[in-house]
Structure 1
Amino acid sequence: MKFSILTLFPEFFDSLNDYSIIGRAIKEEKIKIESVNIRDFSENKHGQVDDYSYGGGPGMVMQPGPIYRAIKSVKQENSKVIYLSPQGKVLTQEKLNELSRLEHIVLLNGHYEGIDNRIVENYVDEELSLGDFVLTGGEIASMTLIDGVTRLLPGVLSSKESYESESHYNGLLEYPQYTRPQNFNDFEVPEVLLSGNHKKIQQYRVYQSIKVTLEKRPDLINRSKLSDLELKYLKDILAEGR
């Protein structure tokens, strides 16, 4: 998997080389990250990449020329160009799963008041957003996407770090986790987790996953995607709350 990041701040991504799982994936050549400075593609001697908006309005808009040339410099036949934008669809675990099957992702990061819309209309494959809010630029969103995709790639996570039971992976939130000490400020770890009975532990975790999702994110519950056991636990939990 290769990520090509088009940005005015390439140094922003230097820390990824040493950051946790991403840094390891880079060292093991599971992923490759290249940061491309859009300013390098300016034809202005001062490196200008923005200008005033036609029709007036506050702030500056990134010009189409430098962005187009930056995209052209990295785009291949198998590339997908993604513009990180507050107008995009909200990034989800399902979308991360989809993106993890690609070979090359080009991440376009806007700044100022955004980019010339002719780029969005003609040279961008998809717009994605972290949520219904606005950031200074797309860089933080790009980092989030890279992290979310990288950990899904084969061989990046060890079995101990498996993502398959994590929140959102299967449409539900993850069950509660505990570690030593067994007693903390008189709060005990649930007994079933100390029993050594793996079947009961698994059932407990499925139950807790349903319960936590119902309490915190009931909007995620999709009955058509639940297993028979999950449906049973959902009905039990709902009955308990009456």
Structure 2
Amino acid sequence: MPSQKLSVCDMGDWIQCPREPERLLLAWQAADEKHNRRRFAVGEVLRTRTDAVFRYFRATEDVSMAESLGYSGYPAFRYSQSEHTQSVMAAFMRRLPPRGRPDFFIYLEKLRFCPTSPFSDFALLGASEARLPSDGFSLVDPLDNFLAPTEVVFEIAGYRHCDPDLTNADVGAKVSFQLEPTNVYDPGAIKIVKGTRKLGYVNKLQARQFRTILDGFCVSAWIARLNGTADHPRAFIFVQVR
């Protein structure tokens, strides 16, 4: 039987209070053969009344490291020009299915967006991260100016390198967050654990702000879905902030 669009979100875990960020980070990740899967912040997208502004970051550690791995700018915007104001949203929305598609609600279900809740295209870019299999770019919500109540879905960073043996039976299982100041790569790292099993980490580009969220709000989280491939398994958690 084909999937039916839900009129109300009364089943499972749904984002009914979506975040409406004012800024997104453009992140870039090198191909596997570069042996460095860190996501580098290489630019930002700033929301405006009518569209958005895109700015490249310059002369940062992330940009320098990304350039050494082959990064040379986002294809839609000239790298020689620092700021872009024309058709910014249109360029990034091409990374997502169009809202007019008959099966668009299926895409929303995967993101756990309640189809009856209002949300902007900017919010959708942040929630989906606008990833494509054909390049290493993504858009990351840096969690600025965080307000509650809200719900977000995070991909567990580094999952395939930590404990990639979860099964569908684990979906719905609670997870918790632990600071890891002894992490040699990032003293600000926040690991995600299920019981005593480390599943991975909060995205490094979100970890600093997420720590303030843990300190200031009531945060609950559980495993939302598993997908990917045998070589590249992926895991996502549903995070409820009150």
With the length of structure 1 as denominator, give the TM-score of the two structures.
0.23
More strand by share: 2
Higher normalized contact order (CA 8 Å, seq sep 6+, divided by chain length)? 2
| TM-score after normalising by structure 2 | 0.23
